[in-house]
Copies of this chain bind each other. A is one copy, B any other.
Amino acid sequence: MSSKTSDLGPFFDPRSIAIVGVPTGAYRFGGMSFLQKLQENDFPGRLYPVNPKAQEIRGLKAYPDLTSLPEVPDLAIVAVGARLVPSILQECGRIGLRHIHILTSGFKETGTPEGKRLEEKICSISRERGLKVIGPNCMGPYCPSSRVTAWGAIPGLDGPIGVISQSGGITQRFTEYTCSLGIGTNKAVSFGNGSVLSSSDYLQFMAEDKEIKVIAMYLESVQDGPRFFRLAREVSKEKPIVLWKGGESEAGAATAASHTGAMSGETQVWEGFFRQTGVIRVRSMDEWADTITALTLLAPPKGKGVFLVGGGGGNSVAYSDACVREGLEVPRLSDSTMERLRESVPVAGSIAGNPLDMFRVFQDSEYLAEILELGYGDPHISMIIVDRLIARKAFHLPDLPDATPEVINFLKERQNRKPTVFTVDSEGGDPELAGEGALMRREFCEAGIPAFPTLKRAARALAHLFRWSQQTGHARAGL
């Protein structure tokens, strides 16, 4: 296998795709669903379903095998049974088809001698024939700008994120999650067992890809530890890498073995990896998405002092605790800021300072803008978290105007603002509130301003941003 990764491009921008193993009949996940999604999403290239028993599938001419295609396609998606995969790879080699995604599962992840033998066979054929293979046991490439969107967020949205993942389901949910916030994915790859192309190959490729600004990874194992370590350390200096390592616990590692045949590795080894490479460690879908959101939309902060705006009394206390727990600080404001603040905050029922517990910021966008300017001018403050309420009966706010559009306008016009994020709480079992909250968070994110459902999640994302900036020296140039 060549370690040159520069020619992984065709996976994400193929002019033609053969789908090997497309059944006819009722809708089923596999070759059929991949073909259907590519058609529905207006894939602009040529599609060749391969099935020796069919003449036509979904309005397209079907071919009995790869050899009988009218051209050598840029990409083959292989969805036949596991035992047939080696012969398909041989056929690819013969016709010079070099980019192959093996969707099929049933290899080493089964733990059976048969599965292992088949996987070894895939590896040896690929090596001999010089094939680039994603998989087996995975969803393969995903690229909204090329309409290679047979899975993941559909129709998808182009953007700055690159995703390298051993789980199709997790990647699907991640692209859907970030896409729903208006933050797009440039390229994603679900690579399953990773028996031919490895996480390092994809990382090198995405490191060199100028469209990709932030790299999100979900890994259960690493094939070539030293190479991956060197690469990750190098890449994360310029492009942040946010890595969710699955199989941390013994139970998780055992599950990873049956999922992707992974040997998950020692806890201490991984701890050293994160410490020495500057790669950001996350441990859940929401932490992964939140951190990517912050890294995508925010400039590096200079320090870890946060100004907390909004809140209410109890929340101000709880929010301070949450920031400190995440490794941030909630410093006193400078004397001159305090002087200006006291002019507008009444003594009773509010708290002038940091946190600022001042109901007026919820209703009055001009006042909120003044408060934000105080924060941007205060040398103790590097980041700002603003709480946004959704007006509702319980809050004694029968007619609270929604100042969100004005707030967004102010921030969009404010050049070089310090990293500023919002929290919009809409949790629980009220569908209307849940919908309004999702909408408001999306409004903010689409305008380039991160918004999160809880303060803890906002603080965690900012803490990751701060530590990455500091470790890689970006904090020196920060705001």
Contact with B along A310-330 (1 / 0, CB 8 A): 001111111011111100011
| Shortest Cβ gap from A132 to chain B (Å) | 23
Residues of B within 8 A of A104 (CB): 348
A176 and B324 contact, CB distance less than 8 A: no
B348 and A110 contact, CB distance less than 8 A: yes
Looking across the interface, which residue of chain B has its beta carbon closest to that of A399? B27
Q: Flag the segment in A5-13, A119-127, A245-253, A406-414 that touches B.
A: A245-253
A284 and B454 contact, CB distance less than 8 A: yes
B438 and A430 contact, CB distance less than 8 A: yes
**A351 with B258: in contact, given A313-B167, A425-B173 (CB under 8 Å)?**
yes
| Shortest Cβ gap from A77 to chain B (Å) | 14
Contact with B along A424-457 (1 / 0, CB 8 A): 0111111111111111011001000000011010
A324 and B393 contact, CB distance less than 8 A: no
B394 and A151 contact, CB distance less than 8 A: yes
Contact with B along A162-173 (1 / 0, CB 8 A): 000111111111
| Shortest Cβ gap from A465 to chain B (Å) | 20
| Shortest Cβ gap from A137 to chain B (Å) | 8
Residues of B within 8 A of A175 (CB): 394
CA of A425 to CA of B177 in the docked complex: distance in angstroms? 11
Residues of B within 8 A of A341 (CB): none
Residues of B within 8 A of A373 (CB): none
Category for how many chain A residues contact B: 35 or more
CA of A243 to CA of B7 in the docked complex: distance in angstroms? 57
Looking across the interface, which residue of chain B has its beta carbon closest to that of A434? B438
A313 and B260 contact, CB distance less than 8 A: yes
A296 at the interface (CB under 8 A from B): no
B427 and A435 contact, CB distance less than 8 A: no
Residues of B within 8 A of A255 (CB): 316-317, 320, 330, 351, 355
Looking across the interface, which residue of chain B has its beta carbon closest to that of A311? B169
A429 and B456 contact, CB distance less than 8 A: no
A22 at the interface (CB under 8 A from B): no
A153 and B394 contact, CB distance less than 8 A: yes
Give me the interface of A with B, judged by CB distance under 8 Å: 27, 29, 33, 37, 82, 104-106, 110, 112, 151-154, 165-173, 175-178, 180-182, 218, 220, 244, 246-252, 254-256, 258-260, 283-286, 289, 312-318, 320-325, 329-331, 347-349, 351, 353, 355, 357, 392-396, 398-399, 425-439, 441-442, 445, 453-454, 456
Q: Other than the known A82-B348, A152-B394, what 4 A-B pairs have Cβ atoms closer than 8 Å?
A: A180-B428, A249-B325, A283-B322, A286-B427
A-B contacts, 12 of them at CB < 8 A, read: A106-B349, A110-B348, A170-B318, A172-B394, A176-B428, A244-B318, A249-B323, A251-B320, A251-B330, A285-B425, A432-B435, A433-B438
The 8 A-B residue pairs with the shortest CB-CB distance, nearest first, are A167-B314, A429-B442, A249-B324, A106-B348, A169-B312, A434-B438, A170-B314, A252-B321
